[in-house]
Structure 1
Amino acid sequence: MNEPWLPLVPEDVTAQWLGDVLAPRYPGTRVERLEINEILWGTGTKMMVTATYDDAGRAHGLPQGLCIKAGLAEHRELVKFCYQTEARFFAELAPRLTLGLPQILHAAANDDQGMVVMEDLRPAGAHICRVQQPLTRDQAAAFLDDLAALHARWWDSPALADDGELGWLMRHDPLPDEAWGDFGRGQLQPETWAHYMGLPRSLGIPALCRDREGVHAALQELRRFGEQGPRCVIHGDAHLGNMYLSREGRPGFLDWQTTRRGHWAHDVAYFYISALDPLDRRAWEKGLVAGYLAALGRHGVASPPSGEEAWRAIRAHIVYGLFYWMVNPVEWQVEENNAAIAPRFGWAAVDHAAPPVGPL
């Protein structure tokens, strides 16, 4: 990934650059003016812009409102693999899927960066989901159906082998030995852990879930469990902040920075626990999981997991969401988001006597 050149700071995102990258796909297009409306800082930076095109660009029907996503903040080097993964997902995998996805005008990666130019969904009436607004049962079921379609597409496929077509996707590992696991291990250090347990997010988390050694042991158990069972392409970070609903109510996924090769139960548990009010989750989860398993069959999986297998897998995976929302830096998610989601995982662990509350 040595080419093409990609901006590394917001100042390099210019009308000239945007026109140059759009022209090969949309011949004759030039961007005459690029107005930056807002910059949303986070794990990945989102530049919300308005583009004014020449006659050729208008003839192609290009949207004026765009979201340009990339690593444009100081922490870019730490997690640049996220931006590279998302760009490759949209360029290589998205065309082979039937999920709700935004229109992508350009996606590219190089050794230092990954960048995606997509439509701004808001002018079309889309609702960007927020973690403070839990889903209805029907909405959750629709998102789970799309996750089943994603998982079924490469369910236990040879393409997911290390030397396979999709071997470039990172393996999902809750606490990897490689360098990218340094973050998780660092968050488990006593002083760092104590810092996060002193933030507002910890107030709603059951005391049993705030035990550092217990969480560490549960993550190690999950590492062993995650190597079992069918491997598939997973979203990796399926929380509401990465999702939207179209004007018609169709579910859609915005963010694919953590696309991985991994266990289906990671996405399922992470999604519905984070997306539902805890009382609704208690009432609906059995039916929602049964619906997901049935959807796997509809989307082509010959032998979906049994109910017993599914619930054992879901119990094992609860700790991932619990841990990473407990120690999520405020530079990546504002504290009100962390405080909304972390307790949802804590109470799910209690309800299911799942690690770190109980044995797997």
Structure 2
Amino acid sequence: MSEGMNVPLRYQDVNARWMTEALRGTWPDVEVTQVRHGPIFGYKRNKFRIEVDYAAGGNDRPRTFIVKGNFPGENDPSTGSAWAMANELRSIRDIAPLVAAPEGPHWHHISVEEEASAIVMEDLAPSGATFFHAFHTLDLGQAMAFMDAFAKMHASSWNSPMFAEGGVMGPGTLAWENRRLVNDVYFPTFFQQENWQSYVDLPRGRALPNAFQDLDKARQAWTNLWALLPQTAMVVVHGDEHLGNLYVTASGKPGLIDWVARPEHWPIGISYFMLCTIDVADRRKWERALLSHYLTRLAAHGAQDVPSFEEAWFIYRCATFYPVVTWLNNSGIWQPEAINTANAVRAATAALDHDAFALLGV
């Protein structure tokens, strides 16, 4: 990584000079002579493919890369917030390497500053990787493979000393700050009356059963869920395990993008994954087998004191309430309404199937 580089504030700042500096962390003698921007892709206007030309002798290197950033100079809210981009890139650079993380695109350069951050990473398209989206749910083999990948990552941090005072992911560290910002700053905004009602009034909210639109009931269930979670193991979670952040390599190996990594209790990551990536009918058929597979693979990857199936089944069913609230309250900047609605309804259906309100004493 090249130090002291300016972070691009506008799309046009990703030019030959900037790319030369960005790639010199990988190839010290590289010189980019020209950059051609492809169209911006994805719902958020924060990433695009570029094609580069090199000076003589560089053509054995990749010709295309993906560049992502929050680009504040564009004055476009749809590029995303500075905090979210910084969180993502620090997760990739500083937290994921501390655990047995699933596959991810190789990155060549990351810059993180207060107002702007950017990453240059591998373009996975030439390698034949397949990306998912909210309306292309996983089949059973794919779901099992991702469960194994999550089990391996979770086992590598299962109740780890890394989370203790003085540990590399303990209080006062970047990882713990990610957890604090998500749990203590972001989540409480959900339950402000005006915010809650604004989302309930959207199609996603009106698509939910009445019980899930009730602020007081939801607040109590949420409080009771977080009171239960400390009984479960702390792990590093990806933090946003929905279909838009998953891919498989050409050989079928699971991969993840767009991290919000932090120490968290394992049911949060597993319930979110199961409810957001599997069709409702399939989830009803497969969830017991998938949870059992996760527990078996945790033990195989070296986790100690893995819960029994009965213990895990109880807390998983309680945690089905978590993605109901997070998708109901997801900003329209992050995902289009159809995706917010699909995931909120998938989660609410599971919470109804498992009578999560009753399990949580509401």
Q: Corresponding residue for 2:238?
A: 235
Unpaired runs of at least 5, structure 2: none
Per-residue CA deviation, residues 273-304 of structure 1 (Å, 9 max, x unaligned), is 11111111011000000000111111111221
Q: Corresponding residue for 1:273?
A: 275
User: CA shift at 1:142, angstroms?
Assistant: 0.5
Residues 33 and 51, structure 1, Cα contact 8 Å, conserved in 2: yes
Q: Corresponding residue for 1:217?
A: 220
Q: Does 38-47 or 346-355 show the bigger shift?
A: 38-47
Residues 238 and 267, structure 1, Cα contact 8 Å, conserved in 2: yes
CA distance 1:111–1:202, shift in 2 (3 Å): closer
CA–CA distance in 2 between the matches of 1:98 and 1:197?
A: 36
The alignment-based identity, stated in percent, is 31
Residues 278 and 344, structure 1, Cα contact 8 Å, conserved in 2: yes
Q: Corresponding residue for 2:19?
A: 18
Q: Corresponding residue for 1:323?
A: 325
Q: Corresponding residue for 2:203?
A: 200
User: CA shift at 1:111, angstroms?
Assistant: 3.4
Letter in 1 for 2:104: L
The 5-angstrom pairing of residues 168-207 of structure 1 reads 168-169=174-175, 170=177, 172=179, 176-177=183-184, 180-181=185-186, 184-207=187-210
- 2:343 is equivalent to residue 338 of structure 1: no
CA–CA distance in 2 between the matches of 1:46 and 1:24?
A: 21
Q: TM-score, normalised by structure 1?
A: 0.88
Q: Corresponding residue for 1:246?
A: 249
Per-residue CA deviation, residues 161-205 of structure 1 (Å, 9 max, x unaligned), is 35321232136469744xx33xx4444333433332232223432
CA–CA distance in 2 between the matches of 1:352 and 1:319?
A: 10
Q: Does 269-278 or 46-55 show the bigger shift?
A: 46-55
CA distance 1:348–1:44, shift in 2 (3 Å): farther
Q: Does 89-98 or 347-356 show the bigger shift?
A: 89-98
Letter in 1 for 2:191: L
Q: Corresponding residue for 2:102?
A: 99
The 5-angstrom pairing of residues 68-87 of structure 1 reads 68-73=67-72, 74-75=76-77, 79-87=81-89
RMSD: 2.6
Residues paired across the two proteins, number:
352
CA distance 1:159–1:359, shift in 2 (3 Å): same
Per-residue CA deviation, residues 32-55 of structure 1 (Å, 9 max, x unaligned), is 111111224656822222222234
CA–CA distance in 2 between the matches of 1:135 and 1:269?
A: 15
CA distance 1:271–1:46, shift in 2 (3 Å): same
Secondary structure of 1:350's aligned partner:
helix
Unpaired runs of at least 5, structure 1: none
CA distance 1:55–1:255, shift in 2 (3 Å): farther
Q: TM-score, normalised by structure 2?
A: 0.88
Secondary structure of 2:111's aligned partner:
strand
